A and B are shown apart, each in its own frame.
Chain A
Amino acid sequence: MLFLSVLVIFGIYYENLQSDVYEQYIINDMQRKAINVADILATSSGSPQFCDSDNVEVIGLYDSGKFNLTKFEGLQNISHGTAKLMMGTGVYNLNISLKNETGHFIEKNGNVYSFGLPLTNVKNAVSIKRLGIADLESENKKVILEVILWA
């Protein structure tokens, strides 16, 4: 009886450990992918350099020392699935946004600079932030590029 109890306790214990390990693996994988995505978006002008949603091969938001809002608008014209494929996020969903220092989405001419699937029924999510400036209202402002990978 005691031996059976021990076996059951051990079974539960092992199952929980396995679950933790897998979750940690998933989070690390998401984190690694999110860092790569954020790095390319924040430091690359994309390919071709003056690309739009029709001819884009590599998505990048950087231009001459700042985030280029026009390129972000181009990103918004690409489907979530295509963007995931191009950015190599695998099974994870993608959410990209530009925010100001207080955490509010950047808005310009009625456009909210956010892309990807909204976070619903989230099991795991990783957020990576990159800092920069962007041309808002004819002058540069500090903006935060946030890349969220979630599943």
Chain B
Amino acid sequence: MGLKGIVFTLDSIVAFGIMVFVISFLIFFRTETSSPYLTAQQLHSMSEDILSVFSESKLREVTNQSLLQQYINDSILNETDLDKKTIDILGALWSAGKDEEAANMTEDILDAFIPNNLGYQLLINNSNVYNSSNISRPNYEDSSVEISSARIASGYEKYQPTEGYVARALARTIKKNNTLIVMGDVISSSVTQEGGWGSNQNEPNISYIFDLPDDATILDAYWFIESSYWNNRLKAYMNGVYIPGSDARTRVLLENIESYIHTGHNEGNVVWRHGGGQQKTGGDDGATHLVVIYNTSQVSTLEEFEKVYFQTVISNCSINYKKPVFVLGEISNLSVRLNLTNGTQVNIVSLKFRWKGIEYDIGTKNPINGVVEWNDTEIRNVLNSAGISYDILDGRYFWFIVDVDIFHERENNGYERKIVGNDSYVHVIYSKKVDWIYNYIDLTRTISNYTYSEPDQYEFYRYAGWNFNLTNRIQLMARWQFPWIYISPSNPLQLARANDITVYNHNPSNPSSDPLIKEFARFGYDTNPEGVLISGDNKFELNFSDGYAVDPENSLGHTTFLVPVSVSYGDIFETEINATDDAIQRLENLLGEDVSAMDITVESVSVAGVPYMWGPVEVRLRMWV
């Protein structure tokens, strides 16, 4: 009997426990406990209300009069501030670094206004102005619901002089260290007899013509020369003087050749000849470059793109001349003229256009009085039928390919063919993007910071990258020339990226990608598309797969940019001398180490009532419970 009682008692207790648990469980899910959503909604409404009060109220309407009077006495505020919007004064105090005053004012306005069970914080651009956590309100760290509202605000700065002097400065004469770069074209002419491998005694002569300003001081000069065929021999001359050490095979780097160069017109020549092996042609493989670093007072030294001249070439065999053209501006008209000298025996000259590695026949002509020309219509018609419009050529390399007589790689020595460089050119009519003549100093710099990896063969690599900085510069263009190697008939990847933006992509597995460029001798771009060339750090990268590589050590990258010659009015200064000193300093900072201002004109004017602005800033009110 006693055992039964214990059993019933235990049974009832257990039953009770189970029922309580089950009912509580059910009730918990039926009940709408105090909703955080409703709390958040209230906090949001209140934070919005307060920001509206800040925006709509005058300072004197919402702030304790004794505090305002104290700030006026302490010259933190003046009478006119009291009629300004509260948010403007809080922002102005914050922007002037008056953090304590901004905090006191916030507390004065809000502390009695906001219910005591809520915490709040005012932030401007995410920096704390006032946080109620340190008083008797809930601490932010312990909050269960938090919400915030924000407004964008701006206004006049306080404590800045609104009367005084402002100045601007203009560099009337300057000295700049500039770089002149002569890039060799891809030019071939036979040095091997027809049907054999012996020399045909032909020695093609190619000129490298350039002009330096009359006042130039030459600081450094070097010349890298590379033959179109491995083991060919060459000799280099500058202004008719043989450069010792230039009698070389395949390639040569001639350093410190300043003494061979003078101001004004210069003409270098390279004479190519058979090297005794199985070479077919002599000439430039397109990687040759002559670099002259000089100092000048000429503001504008940038070459125009209107006439892109051929180099003078003299050879006793047919000539294959590949001319890369890069134009900065919108092209509206293209024509080609070649002067082959009056009385030339040349019978036939052909012209092709090459875009993205694909060649298009423009036409074949016979010279008339030694001259052959293709006009815009002839070129445009061929390009249009190939779906190429002039506007896609802006800021990219395209090529004209000329054969003077039908080109043969092996050919017997014959009559003289001559392309007269100073009267042979690609004529481009284009609209300039920037009027750099009057307002800017142009500068060209070689890009010497580069890396490479993934070796292919010899000194050729399948990855190369260049880095350069153009901070505070107006970017115009960046261009490269490459010694290259292609293993025919492979179909390798060719990927070029500028600041991680793809600017050329031949993907062997994607037929709709860009075509394969067998002679990747040039690459260049302007600021299009956006982001490829920026005021800041820039990089250019090449990636190839098996079958293609470039030689980064002997590649040449260079960039051309503009530097403004003036700075506009700056801050207001109490004295004229301070304003002019500031303008000169700003101008010198802008010019940087590339340019020295020799004569600066400074204009200063007296101003009054010119306010400074702060903002726009984000004013945020955070509330919690």
Q: Is there contact, CB below 8 Å, between A31 and B12?
A: no
Taking CB atoms, residues of chain A closer than 8 Å to B56 are 65-66, 133, 140
Report the interface size for chain B: residues with CB under 8 A from the other chain: 38
Binary CB contact string for chain A from 63 to 103 against chain B (1 if under 8 A, 0 otherwise) = 00110000000000000000000000000000000000110
Which one of A6, A21, A130 contacts B16 once the chains associate, using CB atoms below 8 Å?
Answer: A6
Cβ of B32 within 8 Å of any chain A Cβ, yes or no, is: yes
The CA of A65 and the CA of B20, in the complex, are separated in Å by: 54
Residue of B nearest to A17 (CB): B27
A24: B residues at CB distance < 8 A: 31-34
Q: Of all chain A residues, which has the CB nearest B114?
A: A131
Chain B 10-35 near chain A by CB (<8 Å), digits 1 or 0 = 00110110011001100100111111
B100 interface hit (Cβ, 8 Å): no
Nearest chain B CB to A6 CB, angstrom units: 5
Query: CB < 8 Å: which of B35, B49, B61 contacts A139?
Result: B61
Q: Is the CB of B38 within 8 A of A28?
A: yes
A13 CB within 8 Å of chain B: yes
Pick from B27, B45, B115: contact of A39, CB below 8 A: B45
Which residues on B sit within 8 Å (CB–CB) of A3?
8, 12
A-contact bits for B24-66, CB 8 A (1 contact / 0 none): 1001001111110010011001100110110111101110000
Residue B598 lies at the interface, judged by CB distance under 8 Å to chain A: no
Asked whether any CB of chain A lies closer than 8 Å to the CB of B239, the reply is no
Knowing A21-B31, A101-B113 touch, does A2 contact B49 (C-beta < 8 A)? Answer: no
Bound CA–CA A5/B55 (angstroms): 66
| Bound-state Cα–Cα, A38 to B115, Å | 16
* Interface residue B112 (Cβ < 8 Å from any Cβ of A): yes
B9 within 8 A of A: yes
> For residue B49, which residues in chain A have a CB less than 8 angstroms away from its CB?
42, 130-132
Where chain A touches its partner, the secondary structure class is: helix
- Complexed CA–CA distance, A39 and B41 (Å): 10
Mask of B545-567 contacts with A, CB within 8 angstroms, 1/0: 00000000000000000000000
Interface string of A5-47 (1 = CB under 8 A from B): 1100110011001001100110110011001001100100000
Q: Is the CB of B58 within 8 A of A140?
A: yes
- Verify B62–A65 contact, CB threshold 8 A: no
Report chain A residues within 8 Å CB of B12. Answer: 2-3, 5-6
Within 8 Å CB of B50, what residues of A?
131
A133 pairs with B24, CB closer than 8 A: no
The reply to whether A142 and B9 form a contact with Cβ atoms under 8 Å apart is no
How many Å from the CB of A3 to the closest CB on chain B? Answer: 5
B11, chain A: closest CB distance, angstroms: 8
Quick check: A131 and B53 within 8 Å, CB to CB?
yes
Which residue in B8, B15, B27, B113 is a CB contact (below 8 Å) of A142? B113
Docked complex: B181-238 residues within 8 A CB-CB of A: none
Distance (whole angstroms) from the CB of A106 to the closest CB of chain B: 14
Whether B53 pairs with A132 at a CB distance below 8 angstroms is yes
Partner of B113, one of A14, A65, A66, A131: A131
> A25 — which chain B residues lie within 8 A by C-beta?
31-32
Residues of B contacting A66 with CB < 8 Å? Answer: 56
Given contacts A14-B23, A35-B42, contact A21 B58 (CB under 8 A): no
Given A3-B12, A131-B50, residue A31 in contact with residue B38 (CB < 8 A)? yes
Complex interface: chain A residues within 8 A of B42 (CB): 35, 128
| Least distance between B155 CB and chain A CB atoms (Å) | 17
Contacts of B16 in A (CB 8 A): 6, 9-10
Q: Which residues of B contact A142 (CB under 8 A)?
A: 53, 57, 61-62, 109, 113
Complex Cα spacing A20 to B32, Å? 11
Within 8 A of A (CB), among B345-401: none
Inter-chain contact A132/B33, CB cutoff 8 Å: no
> Which chain B positions have C-beta within 8 A of A139?
58, 60-61
Within the complex, the shortest CB–CB distance from A16 to chain B, in Å, comes to 11
Q: Which residues of B contact A39 (CB under 8 A)?
A: 45
Which residues of B sit under 8 angstroms from A61, Cβ to Cβ?
none
Q: Is A148's beta carbon under 8 Å from chain B?
A: no
Which residues of the partner chain B approach A149 to less than 8 Å between Cβ atoms? none
Check A132 against B52 for contact (C-beta < 8 Å).
yes
Report the separation of the CA atoms of residues A99 and B61 in the bound assembly, to the nearest whole angstrom.
16
If the complex has contacts A2-B8, A21-B31, A24-B32, are A129 and B115 also in contact, measured as CB distance less than 8 A? yes
Which residues between 114 and 147 of chain A lie within 8 Å of chain B, taking CB atoms? 128-133, 139-142, 144
Assess whether B113 is in contact with A17, with CB atoms less than 8 Å apart.
no
Specify the chain B residue showing the minimal Cβ separation from A22: B31
Query: In angstroms, how far is the closest chain B Cβ from the Cβ of A113?
Result: 17
Beyond A10-B20, A21-B27, A35-B41, whether A65 also contacts B52 by CB under 8 A is yes
Q: Which residues of B contact A14 (CB under 8 A)?
A: 23
**Do the beta carbons of B57 and A133 come within 8 Å of each other?**
yes
Among A17, A27, A133, contact of B62 (Cβ-Cβ < 8 Å): A133
Whether the Cβ atoms of B61 and A35 lie closer than 8 Å is no
Q: Is the CB of A13 within 8 A of B15?
A: no
Residues B38 and A35 in contact, CB atoms below 8 Å apart: yes
* CB < 8 Å neighbour of B30 from A21, A32, A101, A133: A21
Select B57's contact among A17, A38, A140, beta carbons within 8 Å.
A140
Contact B61 A144 (CB under 8 A): no
Contacts of B38 in A (CB 8 A): 28, 31-32, 35
In the assembled complex, which residues on chain B have CB atoms less than 8 Å from the CB atom of A5?
Answer: 12
Smallest Cβ distance from B31 to chain A, in angstroms?
5
Q: How far is the CA of A130 from the CA of B47 in the complex (A)?
A: 9
Return chain B residues, CB-CB under 8 Å to A42: 45, 49
Q: How far is the CA of A17 from the CA of B19 in the complex (A)?
A: 13
A131 and B46 form a contact (CB under 8 A): yes
Write the chain B residue with the least CB distance to A65: B56
How far apart are A141's CB and chain B's nearest CB, in angstroms?
A: 6
> How many Å from the CB of B48 to the closest CB on chain A?
8
Q: How far is the CA of A131 from the CA of B45 in the complex (A)?
A: 9
A residues neighboring B (CB under 8 Å): 2-3, 5-6, 9-10, 13-14, 17, 20-21, 24-25, 27-28, 31-32, 35, 38-39, 42, 65-66, 101-102, 128-133, 139-142, 144
Chain B positions near chain A (C-beta within 8 angstroms): 8-9, 12-13, 15-16, 19-20, 23-24, 27, 30-35, 38, 41-42, 45-46, 49-50, 52-53, 55-58, 60-62, 109, 112-115
Pairs of residues from A and B, 6 with the lowest C-beta to C-beta distance, nearest first: A65-B56, A131-B49, A101-B112, A140-B61, A6-B12, A6-B16
Instruction: List 7 A–B pairs whose Cβ atoms lie within 8 Å, in order of A's numbering.
Output: A10-B16, A32-B38, A38-B45, A130-B49, A133-B56, A139-B61, A142-B61
| New contact pairs (6) apart from A6-B12, A20-B31, A142-B57, CB-CB < 8 Å | A10-B20, A31-B38, A131-B46, A132-B49, A133-B57, A133-B61
